[in-house]
């Protein structure tokens, strides 16, 4: 899963997809609502959630 390299992805024993970010977000990103561990019903949803978290972090930390 090259697109989500900073994240560790796994599937639970009940079939739900999970991802944990390998490094913590900045304090500003966490305060903006970025989560280091996320889940989704399928791989597509999980990837969308990961992108949302990264976008939140980018907005919080600015250019």
Report DSSP letters for 27-56, one per residue: HHHHHTT--SEEEESSHHHHHHHHHHHHHH
Torsion from C-alpha of 45, 51, 53, 58, nearest 10 degrees? -170
| Contacts (Cβ under 8 Å, ≥6 apart) of 32 | 56, 57, 59, 60
pLDDT of 16 reads: 97
pTM comes to: 0.86
Tens-place pLDDT, residues 4-46: 579 999 999 999 999 999 999 999 999 999 999 999 999 999 9
User: Looking at residue 61, what DSSP letter applies?
Assistant: H
User: In 10 A of CB 21, how many CB atoms?
Assistant: 19
């Amino acid at each position: 899963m090259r697109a989500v390299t900073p994240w560790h992805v796994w599937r639970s024993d009940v079939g739900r997809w999970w991802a944990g970010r390998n490094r913590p977000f900045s304090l500003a990103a966490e305060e903006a609502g970025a989560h280091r561990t996320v889940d989704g019903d399928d791989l597509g949803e999980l990837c969308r959630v990961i992108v949302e978290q990264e976008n939140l972090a980018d907005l919080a930390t600015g250019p």
